Amino acid sequence: MTPAERFGLALLHKFDPETAHGLSLTALRAGLVQLPGPVSNPRLKTSVAGMALLNPVGLAAGYDKNAVAIAALSRAGFGFIEVGAATPLPQPGNPKPRLFRLTEDKAAINRFGFNNEGAAAIAARLAARQRTEVPVGLNLGANKTSTDRAADFAQVLALCGPHVDFATVNVSSPNTERLRDLQGPAALAALLAGVMEVRAKLPRPIPIFLKIAPDLTPDDLAAIAEVALAAGLSGIIATNTTLSREGLRSAHRSEAGGLSGAPLFEKSTQVLAQLSKLTDGKLPLIGVGGISTADQAYAKIRAGASAVQIYTAMVFQGLSLAADIARGLDALLARDGHASVSAAVGAGRGEWL
């Protein structure tokens, strides 16, 4: 982290978290943030569900909800970027305050509730973006007031699908009431059938991922893996935020919402390893949850992830974290004699089972 970035973070932390979030996006768009550009080499380049990535370190959904900073984020060292979540209609989300920094735990709790400007506004920005080597995907959500939430995912994909490189079905946010119920096998199969029907009609069939919660039993995971394989999904993102509050020390630890950041690392990596065993290489997995170092990103890859995503750790370590992790991963792969990221995928899965 540069002195300028350290100063910028300290300044942002003087504001409430949601204001700071908005200010960081404004600074990015205004060109006030020093960006490293692409971070890549033959060892870091990899492919996930047919997408060529410069490196396996992605940005998780939730940071750029409305797709306003894609151009800058594409120069921030990420191998891929996920924006959103987008819902068919604009919605304000839950009442504020709804984002809490847990500094002592290097974590955050949010209960945003899919606040976004709606699929039409987001589709317009995605259509106008300049395409680069960095794939851009969209997290698909459902409106809180919807009478058919399963149909909402297909509706967003129909509108935005032509303008993105991949899409993620997000049935794992804990902040929209009863949304996680859609992770049940029958409901999930029906929802995914609708999404895949829309995918087939897109100008080009993009990869579709499913993002799951970490708070699932082994039986739940086995059922989801079965449904995902049967539906013809391109991969699974493991995992979203947790409802667990185990071991937290921060004053905000009792706030309602999803917990992300350092405390999620072990739980999400265990889920990832279980999924890796269940899917047995038939589906690429993207590991997310609590990554703040290259060692942790490497642990996710060795547990079965073909790529990883970060978000909460940037609140405490800055945007330069993506490039730092990518470079660190390169060194770890070289140390262990791996010529590629794919050579390390799943190599240490047993340590997490």
Catalytic residues: 173
Long-range contacts of 347-353 (CB under 8 A, 24+ apart): 347/302, 348/299, 348/302, 348/303, 349/273, 349/276, 349/277, 349/302, 349/303, 349/304, 351/273, 351/302, 351/303, 352/269, 352/270, 352/272, 352/273, 352/274, 352/303, 353/270, 353/273, 353/274, 353/277
- 179: phi then psi, degrees, rounded to nearest 5: -65, -40
Residue 292 CA, distance from chain mean position: 14
| Whole-angstrom distance, CA of residue 114 vs CA of residue 111 | 9
CA–CA separation, 247 vs 265, rounded Å?
13
- Name the nearest CA neighbour of 112 among 286, 255, 239: 255
Are residues 209 and 168 in contact, defined by beta-carbon separation less than 8 angstroms? yes
